[in-house]
Structure 1
Amino acid sequence: MRKALLKIRKYFEYNYEVLIAMVLFIAIIISGLEFFKAIIYMLEFIVIMEVVKMISDFIKKEKLRLRFVIDIFIIFLIRDVIIQASHKNIDYFDISFLLIVIFVFFIFRIMSIKYSPGSSKLKDKGNNSSE
């Protein structure tokens, strides 16, 4: 019995996300909150965290990272898709439009990472060191 408890404890030390998810799930069940509303609230919390991270990064570095802005929009649009999909009268046109916009933002995100000024500096350093 003690060995099993040690294994469980060791598992949760490395996988604390599972423990947090279990606690949140139990809290949702106890509170009686509808599950889709809880998901919406969690996504709104993530949007707020990303906005705070973006503002903090802007204050420290005096630069606005495009990646943070795009991440905020993607998360917010995913939240809207979940809200639209959970309604009784599902509007498939709105959902498909939001999914296309999310896809476009993912392309912008990939391009912002690939063509960011920081990545070109890393490439230049790699080229100079090989010469």
Structure 2
Amino acid sequence: MKSAITKVKNNYEFLAALIIFIIILAAHLEFQKTIVLMLEFIVVMEVVKMISDFIKKAKLRLRFVIDIFIIFLIRDVVIYTSHTNKDYFTILFLLFVILVFFIFRILAIKYSPGKKDLLKEEI
């Protein structure tokens, strides 16, 4: 029993999720609306992170921009799937666009200019 409590204490993500879930239940909030608001919060955090990184390094990382679009599109998918009259074409189109952005993200990481600079320094 003590090892289970110790594992829960060391797992901050679980505790944060549990606290948020209890707040949602206690406030009688709609779950879909809460998820959408959390995803919007993550988008705002990513935008602030991107701006902060741009100010510090004077470089705009393509990865941050793509991450923002992916999260924003996931938010839209959640909104469309929670409607009673679902528009499946729109949902499938958004999922396709998310797939394309994931491919762009992988390519942006694989062919990033920072990697080339690191390779030149090693040689």
TM-score tier, shorter chain, comes to: over 0.9
Query: C-alpha offsets along residues 54-83 of structure 1, whole Å, 9 cap, x if unaligned?
Result: 000001011110000000000000000000
TM-score by length of 1: 0.89
5+ residue gaps, structure 1: none
Q: Aligned runs of 1:19-98 on 2, under 5 Å?
A: 19-98=15-94
Correspondent of 1:114 among 110, 116, 120: 110
* In structure 2, C-alpha distance between the alignment counterparts of 1:63 and 1:11, rounded to whole Å: 40
The answer to whether the 8 Å contact 2:47/2:68 transfers is yes
**Match for residue 101 of structure 2?**
105
Q: CA RMSD in A?
A: 1.2
Q: Aligned to 1:107, what secondary structure does the other structure show? A: helix
Q: How far did residue 123 of structure 1 move?
A: 3.0
Query: C-alpha offsets along residues 85-116 of structure 1, whole Å, 9 cap, x if unaligned?
Result: 00000000000000010000001000000000
Q: Which amino acid aligns with 2:90?
A: D
Identical aligned pairs, as a percentage?
63
Q: Which amino acid aligns with 1:21?
A: A
Q: How far did residue 31 of structure 1 move?
A: 0.5
How many residues get paired?
A: 123
* In structure 2, C-alpha distance between the alignment counterparts of 1:50 and 1:122, rounded to whole Å: 26
The runs of at least 4 consecutive aligned structure 1 residues that moved more than 6 Å come to none
**Match for residue 6 of structure 2?**
10
* In structure 2, C-alpha distance between the alignment counterparts of 1:90 and 1:112, rounded to whole Å: 33
* In structure 1, C-alpha distance between the alignment counterparts of 2:96 and 2:119, rounded to whole Å: 32
* In structure 2, C-alpha distance between the alignment counterparts of 1:72 and 1:100, rounded to whole Å: 16
* In structure 2, C-alpha distance between the alignment counterparts of 1:114 and 1:13, rounded to whole Å: 37
Query: C-alpha offsets along residues 8-46 of structure 1, whole Å, 9 cap, x if unaligned?
Result: 442134311001000000000001001111110110010
